[in-house]
Amino acid sequence: MSTIPYKIYLEENEMPKQWYNVRADMKKKPAPILNPGTLQPVTLEELSGIFCTELAKQELDDTTPYFDIPQEILSFYRMYRPSPLVRAYCLEEKLGTPAHIYYKFEGNNTSGSHKLNSAIAQAYYAKKQGLKGVTTETGAGQWGTALSMACSYFDLDCQVYMVKVSYEQKPFRREVMRTCGATVAPSPSMNTEVGRKINAEFPGTTGSLGCAISEAVEAAVTQDGYRYVLGSVLAQVLLHQSVIGLETKAALDKYGIKADMIIGCAGGGSNLGGLISPFAGEMLRGEAKYDIIAVEPASCPSLTRGVYAYDFCDTGKVCPLAKMYTLGSSFIPSANHAGGLRYHGMSSIVSELYDQKLISARSVEQTSVFEAATTFARVEGILPAPESSHAIRVAIDEALKCKETGEEKNIVFGLTGTGYFDMVAYQKYNDGEMSDYIPTDEDLQKSISQMPKVD
Ligand SMILES: *Cc1c(COP(=O)(O)O)cnc(C)c1O
């Protein structure tokens, strides 16, 4: 009988009271974000026109290691945090592995993912600034859902531009957002100039994330009392998501467990960045070593097959440019079922850590991801999100390697959310109709060659 419980929870007094900014411990910092017009580093004043001032400050601050979490946010976190760190005893037994597998489960809130950790912070700062509301984009809808919940808590207006194909094909998340009082427009819409332009140029287009971002930014800067918020990629989002890693580390430390391997799925890099931040910090300070793996879909392989360069974050080219591993902002991934991982670029912090070889990356194919998801769902009692299942895939692969070598590694992975709204994807998998399109080098070269030339 092991002394480690199935679920490790933290007591109130063990919960993190500050977020951790890993950039403070990086000797070589991520490159600054650039104004798309002047190609000069963005100033606080410029950024404050798009983002809430406090969030713009967080975005540009790469030296302050800890930020106090405001009391109002701590109170909200208390409703669904700490999230459990679960020892996957049943999965270990099923695999017959000597490895010890742990997962940090972020799906225990109605929005169903880790995105609420940053949504509530962003809504708080908007409210504190006296704004009327915020605008944003959403793809499959997890971010829009989380933000809608956060805005309703603080009585803020929430305007969501939802990629049209998801708006039409995934009505349920849309209805959760509307239930929380948000307005949801299919993007490209006729509300914005950029939306009207894209609709005229590409009649019948079903939209893209990059296009929805452009619409949301335009909506924010053209309405008094509104700012734009974004659910991934940005440094501020990784800062808020560090709560995941801080809790994970506190839970492991509580039982004297030293992680050998830390695995997370990577779309824009926010959950992975948040999960690994305190561990990467230890590595950067020379205090410990971990094997950290970012897992991305083979259909959208920004780390494993992209280039490290300045690129646009959106199709309309209105957002600041970021230096990141990217496939080019015109890259449109094939219809992969992990909507949250279909972004052309990667957080500049995760990109820089990867470039410094502090972390590694792997890409996995969709059907093998769903195979892992199914194995997990059958023994661990949680139906995982397709995005999260990328991490499950690699955790299982590594646990099976341990079975061969007899190593008792401690494998920790991030289980970012639940997949109840992704049943069409599970249906395709169960019916044997799922495909594994992997872009050719030619496909990638096309979008990469269209990137801006900066340096
Ligand atoms: C959005 C999302 C992701 C990917 O976003 P990151 O910013 O890379 O973390 C992963 N899992 C779930 C469940 C999501 O909703």
Lowest mean pLDDT of 15-19, 293-297, 341-345, 346-350, name the range: 341-345
**The domain boundary residue, chosen from 203, 228, 253:** 228
The model's confidence at residue 333, banded by pLDDT at 50, 70 and 90, is confident
- Assigned domain for 75 exists: no
CA distance 335 to 350: 25
CB atoms within 10 A of CB 242: 28
pLDDT over 70 percentage in the chain: 99
Which pLDDT value is given to residue 1? 41
Q: Of 339, 342, 338, 343, nearest to 313 (Cα)?
A: 343
Which pLDDT value is given to residue 144? 97
Domain co-membership, 182 together with 264: no
Please give the average per-residue pLDDT across 33-55, as a whole number. 95
Cβ of 30 closer than 6 Å to ligand 1, yes or no, is no
Q: Which amino acid is at 35?
A: N
Q: How far is the CA of 120 from the centre of ligand 1 (A)?
A: 16
Total domain count for the chain? 2
Q: What is the per-residue pLDDT across 314-326, written as a single tens digit (0 to 9) for each?
A: 877 888 999 999 9
Q: What is the per-residue pLDDT across 281-290, written as a single tens digit (0 to 9) for each?
A: 999 999 999 9
Please give the average per-residue pLDDT across 61-83, as a whole number. 97
**The domain boundary residue, chosen from 228, 256, 271:** 228
Q: How far is the CA of 415 from the centre of ligand 1 (A)?
A: 10
Which pLDDT value is given to residue 165? 87
Residue entry with tokens 């023994």: 379
Domain co-membership, 290 together with 369: yes
Cβ of 109 closer than 6 Å to ligand 1, yes or no, is no
Q: What is the per-residue pLDDT across 107-143, written as a single tens digit (0 to 9) for each?
A: 999 999 999 999 999 999 999 999 999 999 998 899 9
Domain co-membership, 120 together with 107: no
- Assigned domain for 235 exists: no
Q: How far is the CA of 266 from the centre of ligand 1 (A)?
A: 7
Question: Which residue out of 104, 230, 232 has the highest number of ligand 1 atoms within 8 Å of its CB and is therefore the one to mutate?
Answer: 232
Q: What is the per-residue pLDDT across 199-242, written as a single tens digit (0 to 9) for each?
A: 999 898 888 888 899 999 999 999 999 999 999 999 999 999 99
CA distance 242 to 168: 34
Cβ of 297 closer than 6 Å to ligand 1, yes or no, is no
Please give the average per-residue pLDDT across 144-155, as a whole number. 98
**The domain boundary residue, chosen from 205, 228, 251:** 228
The model's confidence at residue 337, banded by pLDDT at 50, 70 and 90, is confident
Which pLDDT value is given to residue 405? 98
Q: List the domain range (segments joined by +) for residue 92.
A: 7-14+81-112+241-448
pTM for this entry: 0.97
Q: What is the per-residue pLDDT across 393-403, written as a single tens digit (0 to 9) for each?
A: 999 999 999 99
Which pLDDT value is given to residue 2? 55
Q: What is the per-residue pLDDT across 372-388, written as a single tens digit (0 to 9) for each?
A: 999 999 999 999 999 99
Lowest mean pLDDT of 25-29, 247-251, 330-334, name the range: 330-334
Which domain CATH number covers 123? 3.40.50.1100
Domain co-membership, 134 together with 260: no
CA distance 401 to 88: 17
Which pLDDT value is given to residue 3? 83
Domain co-membership, 413 together with 357: yes
- Assigned domain for 179 exists: yes
- Residue 247 in this model has a pLDDT that exceeds 90: yes
Average pLDDT in the chain: 95
CB 91 within 8 A of CB 411: no
CA distance 455 to 86: 45
- Assigned domain for 123 exists: yes
Cβ of 417 closer than 6 Å to ligand 1, yes or no, is yes
